[in-house]
C-alpha cells in the first residue's frame, strides 16, 4: 500500500541519517521484536527488558520520530540514570487499525541513543492479516425433495491464512422482526406478549455444524441440509460470517419441494367427481344404515402411504418407539433413514424398544418377588411375636412356602434372577408381557409408566452409538464392526495408471509401487479372473456381458470392413 511504501522510504532515510550522525560511534546489531501475525482491528502489546551491564548509570533515548504512521508506540521513550545491573521493562504497542495500515508486513527500525555509549536499533516487525475462508462450491442445487424428507450436500472449507479462523452460519432475514409502534399502549403490549407465543419453525436450509474453528492451512467438510415444508421452489442465501474479518462467504442454495397429495371423490355415472363431503341417503332409525363408497386417487408420481392418526395401530406403536429415542433437535425433528411407503421403522429402533420393555419387565418381576419375600418374612415375625414360637429360619420359610433356593435368589438385590427354574418362569412372563405391551399395563396415557420407560431407555442408550446412528450407518452402507473400523483405518491412496498401448504405463506403475511400497495390480487380470470364476458375481456377470457386446461389435465391424474391401476390389 501507499503507507507501507512511504514507511520503507522513511526507513532508508532514517538509516542514512543515523549513520551520518553517528559516524564515529560504534553501531551494535539490531534487536528484533517480532509481533508475528496480527489481525487487523486488534491491538497487541509486547514487553521487552533493557539491562544496564556497566558499572555506572546510563541514560538512553528512543527516537519516536521513526514511529510515524507505523502503528508502533512505546509507553516510555526516555530513561535517565538507569543504575548499574538494573533492568527496566518497556512496552511496545502495535495498532494497525489506528495507523490505517493495510494487509501485509510492517517493519520499523527505531534508533536508541545511549549517552556516552554505542548506538543500536530496535527492529519492530509485524504481519497484518485477516481471517479468510475459501469454499469449494458457493452454489448448491438440491433438485426435487419430498416434503418430510431432507437432502444433505457436503462442501469443503479451506483456511488459506496462517492464523485460525472462527466462523458461524447466518441466515439473512431470520432475526428480522417487526418493531411495535410507539403509539401502542402498554396494556396492549402486555396482552399481545402473553397471548402470542413465538413459533419456532425449522430452517429450510441449515448448515451442519452451525459454527466452527478452522486451524491455519486446514480443511474441513461441512454439510448443508435442505428440508422443504411446502411444494414450491426455494432459493435462499446462507452466509458464513468470519470472526474479526470483513470477509463473508455467501452460499446460494436452491431446491424444490414435492408434497404428497391425494384427491378424495366418488364415482357417479362412471365418472370420478372430487368431493370434500360425503352425503348419505336418508335412513330410518334402527335400520341397517347406508354405505357410500369413496375413491382416493394419488396424483403424485410416487407411491404414498395413508393412515389414520387415531386408529392406525402401527402408527401408534411407532409413536411409542420414537418417544424413547434420543437425538431430537430444537425443532423436535430427528433424522431417520428414508423408507418406502408401507415399510416399518428400522430394525435397530424396534430392537431397542424391545430391550427397554424387557428390562422394565425384569425389574418389575424382581421387585414383585422381593416384595413378596419381604411380606412373608414380616408374617413370620408377626407369628413369632404372637405365639412365641421358636423355629429355625429354614422351618419358618418352609412353612410359608419359601425355599432356600428362592431366598438365595432374593438376597442379592443387585443380581438378576438367574436360577434355572426362576429363569424359565421369568422368560415366560416376559414374552407374554412384551407381546401384550400397550394393550394392558403399560399404556402411554399413564405418565408414571411413560416416565419409567424413558428412564430405562436412558440407562440402555449408548450415546457413542445410538440406535438412530446404527440405523443411519446401515442405510449409508457404513460397516460398524471391528473389521470395518480396521478397514477404514487402512484406507489410503489408490493410483490408477491408464493409457494407450506402448505408452509406458506398466513401467510407471512399477516405479510408483516401489516408491510407495504398495501392491501392484493389473485391472485386466482382475476382470479376467472374475469373469472366469465359477462363482461369478453380479459385477463380474455385467463385465462379461460388456466384453461380449464389445467383441460382437468388433467382429461385426471387421466383417463389414472385409465386405467393403471385396466390393472395392470387384469394381476395380
Q: What is the pLDDT, as a whole number, of residue 405?
A: 39
For cell 397429495, the residue is: 261
* pLDDT over 70 percentage in the chain: 78
- Pick the closest to residue 53 from 84, 89, 30 (CA basis): 84
Establish whether domains 2-129 and 134-175+200-258 are of one fold: yes
Q: What is the pLDDT, as a whole number, of residue 447?
A: 56
The answer on pLDDT for 396 being more than 90 is no
Q: Which of 62-76, 219-233, 409-423, 493-507: highest mean pLDDT? A: 219-233
Distance between CA atoms of residues 334 and 458, nearest Å: 17
Question: What average pLDDT does the segment 187-203 reach?
Answer: 55
Check residues 387 and 283 and name the one with the higher pLDDT: 283
Distance between CA atoms of residues 205 and 151, nearest Å: 10
Instruction: Give the three-class secondary structure for 132.
Output: coil
Q: Which of 150-164, 353-367, 432-446, 524-538: highest mean pLDDT? A: 150-164
The answer on pLDDT for 553 being more than 50 is yes
Q: Which of 306-320, 375-389, 393-407, 475-489: highest mean pLDDT? A: 306-320
Q: What is the pLDDT, as a whole number, of residue 153?
A: 94
pLDDT (tens digit, 9 = 90+) per residue, 266-316? 888 888 889 888 888 899 888 888 998 889 999 888 898 888 888 888 888
- pLDDT band, very low/low/confident/very high, at 182 (cuts 50, 70, 90): very low
Write out the three cell numbers for 52: 544496564
Check residues 155 and 174 and name the one with the higher pLDDT: 155
- pLDDT band, very low/low/confident/very high, at 516 (cuts 50, 70, 90): confident
Give the Å distances, CA to CA, from 488 to 405, 474, 478, 481, 492.
51, 15, 10, 11, 9
Worst-scoring range by mean pLDDT, 41-45, 346-350, 503-507, 534-538? 534-538
Q: What is the pLDDT, as a whole number, of residue 20?
A: 52
Write out the three cell numbers for 16: 542514512
Q: What is the pLDDT, as a whole number, of residue 490?
A: 65
- Pick the closest to residue 101 from 157, 55, 41, 153 (CA basis): 41
Q: Regarding the domain delimited by 2-129, which CATH topology (the fold level of the hierarchy) does it fall under? A: Immunoglobulin-like (2.60.40)
Q: In what order do the strands lie in the sheet with 295-298?
A: 272-274, 262-267, 295-298
- pLDDT band, very low/low/confident/very high, at 120 (cuts 50, 70, 90): confident
Question: What average pLDDT does the segment 140-146 reach?
Answer: 94
Q: What is the pLDDT, as a whole number, of residue 142?
A: 95
Question: What average pLDDT does the segment 224-231 reach?
Answer: 93
- Pick the closest to residue 234 from 210, 263, 208, 202 (CA basis): 202
Does this model's pTM top 0.75? My answer is: no
- pLDDT band, very low/low/confident/very high, at 21 (cuts 50, 70, 90): low
The answer on pLDDT for 335 being more than 70 is yes
The answer on pLDDT for 441 being more than 60 is no
DSSP 27: B
Question: What average pLDDT does the segment 87-92 reach?
Answer: 91
Domain boundaries, the chain: 2-129, 134-175+200-258, 345-476
- pLDDT band, very low/low/confident/very high, at 166 (cuts 50, 70, 90): very high
Rounded to the nearest integer, the mean pLDDT of the chain is 79
The answer on pLDDT for 143 being more than 90 is yes
Question: What average pLDDT does the segment 188-207 reach?
Answer: 63
Superfamily of domain 134-175+200-258: Immunoglobulins (2.60.40.10)
In degrees rounded to 5, what are phi and psi of residue 230? -140, 165
Amino acid at each position: 500500500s501507499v503507507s507501507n511504501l512511504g514507511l520503507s522510504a522513511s526507513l532508508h532515510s532514517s538509516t542514512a541519517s543515523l549513520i551520518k550522525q553517528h559516524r564515529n560511534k560504534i553501531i551494535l546489531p539490531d534487536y528484533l521484536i517480532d509481533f508475528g501475525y496480527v489481525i487487523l482491528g486488534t491491538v497487541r502489546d509486547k514487553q521487552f527488558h533493557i539491562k544496564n551491564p556497566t558499572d555506572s548509570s546510563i541514560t538512553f533515548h528512543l527516537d519516536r520520530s521513526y514511529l510515524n504512521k507505523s502503528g508502533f508506540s512505546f509507553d516510555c521513550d526516555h530513561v535517565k540514570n538507569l543504575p548499574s545491573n538494573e533492568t527496566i521493562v518497556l512496552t511496545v504497542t502495535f495498532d494497525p487499525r489506528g495507523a490505517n495500515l493495510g494487509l501485509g508486513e510492517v517493519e520499523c527500525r527505531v534508533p536508541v541513543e545511549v549517552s556516552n555509549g554505542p548506538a543500536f536499533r530496535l527492529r519492530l516487525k509485524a504481519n497484518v492479516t485477516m481471517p479468510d475462508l475459501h469454499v469449494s462450491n458457493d452454489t448448491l442445487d438440491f433438485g426435487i425433495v419430498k416434503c418430510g424428507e431432507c437432502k444433505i450436500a457436503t462442501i469443503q472449507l479451506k483456511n488459506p491464512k496462517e492464523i485460525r479462523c472462527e466462523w458461524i452460519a447466518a441466515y439473512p432475514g431470520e432475526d428480522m422482526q417487526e418493531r411495535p409502534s410507539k403509539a401502542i399502549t402498554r396494556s396492549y403490549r402486555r396482552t399481545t406478549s402473553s397471548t402470542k407465543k413465538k413459533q419456532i419453525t425449522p430452517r429450510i436450509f441449515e448448515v451442519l455444524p452451525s459454527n466452527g474453528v478452522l486451524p491455519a492451512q486446514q480443511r474441513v467438510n461441512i454439510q448443508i441440509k435442505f428440508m422443504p415444508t411446502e411444494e414450491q421452489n426455494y432459493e435462499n442465501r446462507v452466509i458464513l460470517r468470519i470472526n474479526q474479518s470483513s470477509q463473508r462467504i455467501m452460499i446460494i442454495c436452491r431446491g424444490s419441494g414435492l408434497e404428497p397429495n391425494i384427491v378424495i371423490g366418488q364415482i357417479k355415472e362412471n365418472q370420478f367427481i372430487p368431493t370434500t363431503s360425503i352425503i348419505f341417503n336418508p335412513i330410518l332409525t334402527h335400520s341397517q344404515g347406508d354405505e357410500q363408497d369413496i375413491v382416493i386417487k394419488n396424483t403424485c408420481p410416487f407411491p404414498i402411504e395413508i393412515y389414520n392418526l387415531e386408529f392406525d395401530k402401527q402408527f401408534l406403536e411407532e409413536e411409542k418407539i420414537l418417544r424413547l429415542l434420543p437425538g431430537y433437535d430444537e425443532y423436535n425433528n430427528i433424522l431417520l433413514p428414508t423408507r418406502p411407503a408401507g415399510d416399518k421403522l428400522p430394525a435397530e429402533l424396534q430392537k431397542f424398544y424391545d430391550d427397554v420393555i424387557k428390562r422394565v419387565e425384569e425389574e418389575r418381576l424382581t421387585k414383585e418377588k422381593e416384595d413378596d419375600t419381604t411380606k412373608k418374612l414380616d408374617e413370620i415375625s408377626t407369628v413369632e411375636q404372637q405365639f412365641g414360637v421358636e423355629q429355625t429360619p429354614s422351618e419358618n420359610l418352609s412353612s410359608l412356602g419359601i425355599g432356600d433356593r428362592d431366598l438365595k435368589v432374593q438376597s442379592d438385590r443387585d443380581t438378576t434372577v438367574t436360577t434355572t427354574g426362576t429363569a424359565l418362569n421369568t422368560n415366560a412372563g416376559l414374552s407374554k408381557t412384551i407381546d401384550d405391551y400397550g394393550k394392558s399395563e403399560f399404556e402411554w396415557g399413564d405418565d408414571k409408566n411413560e416416565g419409567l420407560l424413558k428412564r430405562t431407555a436412558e440407562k440402555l442408550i449408548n450415546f457413542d452409538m445410538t440406535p438412530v446412528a446404527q440405523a443411519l450407518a446401515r442405510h449409508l452402507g457404513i460397516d460398524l464392526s471391528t473389521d470395518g473400523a480396521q478397514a477404514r483405518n487402512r484406507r489410503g491412496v489408490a493410483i490408477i495408471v491408464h493409457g494407450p498401448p506402448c505408452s509406458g504405463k506398466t513401467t510407471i506403475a512399477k516405479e510408483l509401487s516401489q516408491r510407495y511400497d504398495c501392491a501392484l495390480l493389473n485391472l485386466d487380470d482382475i476382470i479376467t479372473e472374475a469373469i472366469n470364476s465359477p462363482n461369478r458375481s453380479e459385477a463380474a456377470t455385467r463385465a462379461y456381458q460388456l466384453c461380449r457386446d464389445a467383441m460382437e461389435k468388433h467382429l461385426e465391424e471387421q466383417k463389414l470392413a472385409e465386405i467393403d474391401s471385396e466390393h472395392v476390389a470387384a469394381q476395380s
